[in-house]
Amino acid sequence: MKPTLPSNQKQARDSYGQFLPLRPLSPLELKQKETKSVQFYLNLIKNMGEFHRSTAALRKSGFGELTARMELGRYYFYFYDPKLKETLPMYDKFPLTIPMNYYEDGFLGLNLHYLSQGSRIQLHSRLMTLANDASIPEDMKIGARYEILKSTQKYRAFKPCIKRYLYNHIQSKFLNINPMFWEMALFLPVQQFRKGSPY
């Protein structure tokens, strides 16, 4: 069941449901964030081995926890084998996904790996601005966050990353990323594209 936005949350929706204008990050700022994330990733791998297989080490790191369930609006890594991979022009075996809606056999999500780094940080900034706004009650943020995610479908830049995922083609548990590492996750070099690349 998708979250709904009651009428008394319209102001929250209108405040956070639009993506423009936002100051884009400069190439230098993007490079600095990418370098920081790569260094974090290398240290994580050095200390933990393959983090997606080491549950205890993963929990100790604080990066996230493995789970069999997803929550709308959070950030997840997992392994995926598409049903129609033979006919797809490209696909990502290790998505970084924000779930948008549930279905009986799967879910709709935004795979951020299909976006440029600038678009990733733009979407992330909107979600985090909402999360950090103390003037909006927590129960209202659920609906407002859903509206932000839903509104991406109106923008051409975000359409390539909106994907339908089937539960019976997911090949691992979900890595539920700790929110304090969400921005870091945007720049981690862990995408596993096959047959092509969106960049």
Query: Residue 166: what pLDDT?
Result: 97
Q: Which residues pair with 65 in a beta bridge?
A: 176
Residues 178 and 65: their CA atoms lie apart, in Å, by 8
CB atoms within 10 A of CB 108: 19
Q: Average pLDDT of each block of 10 consecutive residues along the chain (199 residues)?
A: 39 41 62 70 54 58 85 90 94 92 92 88 77 68 66 72 94 88 85 89
Residue tagged 């369930």 (tokens): 69
Domain residue extents for the chain:
27-194
Exposure on the CB side of residue 78, measured as CA atoms within 13 A: 28
